[in-house]
């Protein structure tokens, strides 16, 4: 598994990812069958490889009853829908799954194999048993193709409130004969997770997986990618839409009516704030000294300036800027292989963000989107992690 930022596929990601890779952002791409048909996935995977990116395919069994026209183009789709009907998997179906996973991953020239798995839930040993059988099928394929097989560990919202439940799930996951982990956490419906306790549980879970000595890819990390390498992950997956900023099963449900929003102003993601500020409405209300601290630029933000007269900036470009900015910061952190050092790098950025948000408040501006609600709690959670798991960090330092 490559170390650094990965691109998490979402809607209209194909060319978006190419532009990022051309600008040097990202080490790999995670392809989503929900968002691209198989023929196009094959063609684009060749282009991503040509830009020196690794490619993984996420089979997305999270809500197995969901399907759409793009998913139906993959041979894995038959086994997804059958599992949703029976919540079991019979031996003949395992053979079908093995053949389907082999066909897809070989066609994409995948650099690793993400095993299919349902979301882990509290009090559901049947899901653990099913995921073990799904993993066994995936492992056959990974071994046959000569690529690593990553166990999928997505911890559902019903489980995240209990340390004991998370411990049981991770005990099951670490018993699998895998080559690494594809790890995600289902938080609440917040735009960005802000609970100190739940963020700490997510980081502690990732640290537990990392202490196996196997690589961890933090799936659907979004802005939390800042913390990923600090809890021992090797990679963090970043996407442009809000429904990619954390794991949410609603992505595999009926598409909600978007309602208006077409004229919503762009949000400028600032690495100094580690959050967004509305452009230009909020930016122009600040004194030039604060504007200069906030406007941390990327190749996709050249239109944005401190001037009240700067030209319009497309929302789509704001997404490109955000992904590039997060990738750039994660790449710098990833240059050091020691998780404790990575955690302290994240803490330095968060402390700067907390201070800058305080200065903005002092200047009389209250930023919308609750964009200052999580930085301090993330800082506290990472400090808790470093304090409570010092021996784990010592161990990982020996492995790095």
Tell me the DSSP string of 374-391.
Answer: SHHHHHHHHHHHHHHTHH
Taking CA 344 as the corner, what is the angle to CA 340 and CA 346, rounded to the nearest 5 degrees?
115
In a domain, 262, yes or no: no
In a domain, 17, yes or no: yes
In a domain, 399, yes or no: no
In a domain, 400, yes or no: no
Neighbour tally for 191: CB within 10 Å: 17
How far, in Å, CA of 133 to CA of 115, rounded?
Answer: 10
Lowest average pLDDT, out of 17-26, 86-95, 301-310, 377-386, goes to 301-310
Same domain, 384 and 315: yes
Q: Which of 253, 271, 247, 237 is nearest to 190 (CA)?
A: 247
In a domain, 260, yes or no: no
Same domain, 285 and 247: no
In whole angstroms, how far apart are CA 282 and each of 189, 339, 364, 372? 25, 36, 11, 14
Same domain, 238 and 375: no
368 pLDDT more than 70: yes
Range of the domain at 244: 4-252
Specify the pLDDT at position 93. 87
In a domain, 257, yes or no: no
Q: What's the chain's length in residues?
A: 400
Same domain, 165 and 274: no
Same domain, 178 and 107: yes
In a domain, 259, yes or no: no
157 pLDDT more than 90: yes
Same domain, 327 and 228: no
Lowest average pLDDT, out of 29-33, 210-214, 263-267, 365-369, goes to 263-267
Number of domains, the chain: 2
Same domain, 22 and 115: yes
What percent of the chain has a predicted confidence (pLDDT) above 70?
A: 95
Same domain, 188 and 295: no
Q: Is 45 within 8 Å of 55 (Cβ atoms)? A: yes
Same domain, 244 and 271: no
Specify the pLDDT at position 254. 65
CATH number, domain of 77, equals 3.20.20.80
Q: Is 108 within 8 Å of 73 (Cβ atoms)? A: no
Same domain, 306 and 159: no
Specify the pLDDT at position 264. 82
Same domain, 198 and 286: no
In whole angstroms, how far apart are CA 354 and each of 80, 267, 343, 349, 374? 44, 19, 16, 9, 9
In a domain, 258, yes or no: no
CB hemisphere CA count around 41 (13 angstroms)? 30
pLDDT digits (tens, 9 = 90+) for 338-367: 999 999 999 999 999 999 999 999 999 999
| Residue at a domain's end among 204, 219, 252 | 252
306 pLDDT more than 70: no
* H helical segments located in the chain: 14-22, 38-50, 77-86, 91-107, 125-145, 163-174, 196-210, 225-228, 288-294, 315-334, 339-362, 375-388, 390-399
pLDDT digits (tens, 9 = 90+) for 188-245: 888 899 999 999 999 999 999 999 999 999 999 999 999 999 999 999 999 998 888 8
Question: How does residue 400 score in pLDDT terms, banded at 50, 70 and 90?
Answer: confident
Same domain, 302 and 181: no
Lowest average pLDDT, out of 117-126, 248-257, 331-340, goes to 248-257
């Amino acid at each position: 598994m490559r170390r650094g930022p990965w691109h998490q596929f979402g809607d209209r990601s194909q060319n978006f990812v190419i532009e990022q890779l051309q600008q040097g952002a990202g080490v790999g791409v995670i392809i989503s069958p929900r968002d691209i048909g198989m023929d196009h996935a094959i063609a684009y995977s060749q282009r991503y490889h040509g830009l020196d990116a690794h490619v993984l395919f996420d089979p997305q069994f999270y809500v197995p009853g969901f399907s759409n026209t793009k998913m139906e183009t993959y041979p894995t789709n038959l086994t997804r829908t059958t599992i949703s009907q029976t919540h079991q998997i019979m031996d003949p179906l395992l053979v079908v799954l093995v053949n389907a996973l082999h066909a897809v991953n070989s066609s994409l020239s995948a650099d690793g194999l993400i095993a299919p798995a349902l979301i882990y839930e509290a009090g559901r040993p049947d899901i653990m048993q099913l995921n073990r059988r799904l993993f066994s099928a995936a492992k056959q394929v990974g071994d046959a193709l000569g690529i690593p097989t990553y166990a999928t560990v997505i911890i559902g919202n019903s489980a995240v409130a209990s340390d004991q439940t998370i411990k049981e799930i991770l005990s099951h996951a670490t018993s699998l004969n895998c080559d690494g982990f594809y790890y995600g956490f289902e938080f609440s419906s917040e735009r960005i997770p802000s609970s100190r306790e739940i963020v700490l549980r997510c980081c502690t879970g990732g640290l537990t997986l990392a202490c196996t000595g196997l690589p961890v890819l933090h799936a659907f990390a979004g802005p939390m990618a800042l913390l990923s390498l600090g809890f021992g992950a090797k990679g963090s997956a970043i996407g442009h839409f809000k429904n990619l900023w954390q794991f949410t099963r609603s992505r595999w449900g009926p598409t909600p009516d978007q309602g208006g929003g077409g004229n919503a102003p762009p949000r400028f993601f600032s690495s100094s704030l580690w959050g967004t500020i509305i452009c230009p409405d909020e930016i122009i209300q600040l004194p030039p000294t604060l504007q200069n601290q906030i406007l941390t630029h990327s190749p996709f933000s050249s239109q944005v300036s401190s001037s009240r007269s700067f030209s319009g900036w497309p929302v789509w470009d704001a997404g490109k800027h955000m992904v590039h900015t997060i990738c750039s910061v994660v790449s710098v952190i990833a240059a050091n292989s020691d998780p404790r050092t990575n955690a302290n790098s994240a803490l330095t950025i968060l402390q700067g963000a907390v201070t800058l948000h305080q200065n903005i408040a002092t200047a009389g501006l209250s930023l919308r989107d609750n964009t200052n609600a999580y930085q301090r709690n993330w800082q506290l959670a990472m400090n808790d992690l470093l304090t409570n798991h010092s021996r784990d960090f010592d161990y990982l330092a020996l492995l790095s």
